[in-house]
Amino acid sequence: MAEEKKFKKNKLGLAGWFAGGRYGAERYAYILHRISGLGILFYFILHIFVTGSRIGGPEEWESTISTFKTPVFKFGEFLVFLAFAYHALNGLRLVLAELGFGLGKPTRPVFPYVNSIRRQRPLFIAVMIVAALIMVFGGADFYLLGN
Amino acid sequence: MKESTLWVWHIIAGVVIFVLLGIHMFIMHLDDILVALGIGYHDPISASSVFARSKQAFYMVTYIVLLGAALYHGLYGLRNILFELSLPKAGEKIVNWLFALGGLALFVYGTYVAIAIFTSV
């Protein structure tokens, strides 16, 4: 029994993330959301094993983390922190939009049109400001304050 | 399981991670700012800090919840990306099994570590 394909084949593949047409800010937010998500997932799986090494006791833990106390790893951790701040705040916007918050009631399409972009753009700008603040605080904590 | 059910769990896991990973990042990476505000402590990854946290029930439980939520959210997200590339049916099956078993294995490992250190003297 031949199974019927429900969807058209995705011909663009990964290139479609970047070269699918004239993109607005939300589309770039989507691309960055995926890239930051992949980066966080990669870090997270390694993180499970690194933090799992504390099963060997305090000495083994200290020797494990001493491997990662170099400028390169510190910068890598900072990148993960930036990805976290972006992904968390943009994800908050996506959840709010998914659940229908802040989109307003459906209205007749009378000029000037209130489209979804006009409704959602202020929320996008607001969450990006919060994300930028967290990134600035994180940068200060990583590189200016303390040790 | 229905695809829409998996998607709803993806969103629920995202909200759980938003809260728990938010706390985690404040403790681990905004420690100096918290100390300046008088509510945090320095050097959160030193052995004494790490083991002090691991022996508290709150951290043991939330580590396991965060581990499960983050594994589900991350692997489902990667699965979404892969499926969007029009994989052949067999490829989708391989991804489903690989991610389900791999995620479960990582969850069991992380949970074992969290519980073993919490219960050790």
The whole-angstrom distance between B3's CA and the closest CA on chain A is 14
Closest-CA residue of chain B to A31: B81
Confidence of residue A41 (pLDDT cuts 50, 70, 90): very high
Q: Which of A10, A37, A59 sits opposite B84 (nearest CB)?
A: A10
Q: Do B43 and A140 touch (CB under 8 A)?
A: no
In this predicted structure, the answer to whether residue A7 has a pLDDT above a threshold of 70 is no
In this predicted structure, the answer to whether residue A115 has a pLDDT above a threshold of 80 is no
Instruction: Output the average pLDDT for chain B.
Output: 93
Residue B55 backbone phi and psi in degrees, to 5? -95, 5
User: Which of A33, A41, A63, A79 is best to mutate for the B interface (most B CBs within 10 A)?
Assistant: A41
Q: Do A81 and B25 touch (CB under 8 A)?
A: yes
The whole-angstrom distance between B66's CA and the closest CA on chain A is 11
User: ipTM higher than 0.90?
Assistant: yes
Q: What pLDDT score was predicted for residue A1?
A: 40
Closest-CA residue of chain B to A74: B29
Q: What pLDDT score was predicted for residue A118?
A: 75
Angle, in degrees to the nearest 10, between helices B47-54 and B89-119: 100
| Residues of chain B below pLDDT 50 | none
Q: Is the dihedral of CA B28, B31, B37, B39 positive or negative?
A: positive
Q: Do A48 and B110 touch (CB under 8 A)?
A: yes
Angle, in degrees to the nearest 10, between helices A25-52 and A71-98: 130
Q: Which of B109, B101, B73, B70 is nearest to A50 (CA)?
A: B109
Q: What pLDDT score was predicted for residue A6?
A: 63
Give all domains of chain A, ordered by start, each with its CATH number. Answer: 25-143 (1.20.1300.10)
Q: Do A52 and B110 touch (CB under 8 A)?
A: yes
The CATH code of the domain at B3-119 is 1.20.1300.10
Q: Do A138 and B30 touch (CB under 8 A)?
A: yes
Sorted by sequence, the CB contacts under 8 Å of residue A81 that are 6+ apart come out as A135, A138, A142, B25, B29
Is A133 an interface residue toward B (CB < 8 Å)? no
pLDDT tens for A77-112 read: 999 999 999 999 999 999 998 998 877 777 787 887
When pLDDT is averaged across residues A46-69 and rounded to a whole number, the result is 93
pLDDT tens for B46-58 read: 999 999 999 999 9
Q: What pLDDT score was predicted for residue B97?
A: 97
Would you list the domain boundaries of chain B?
A: 3-119
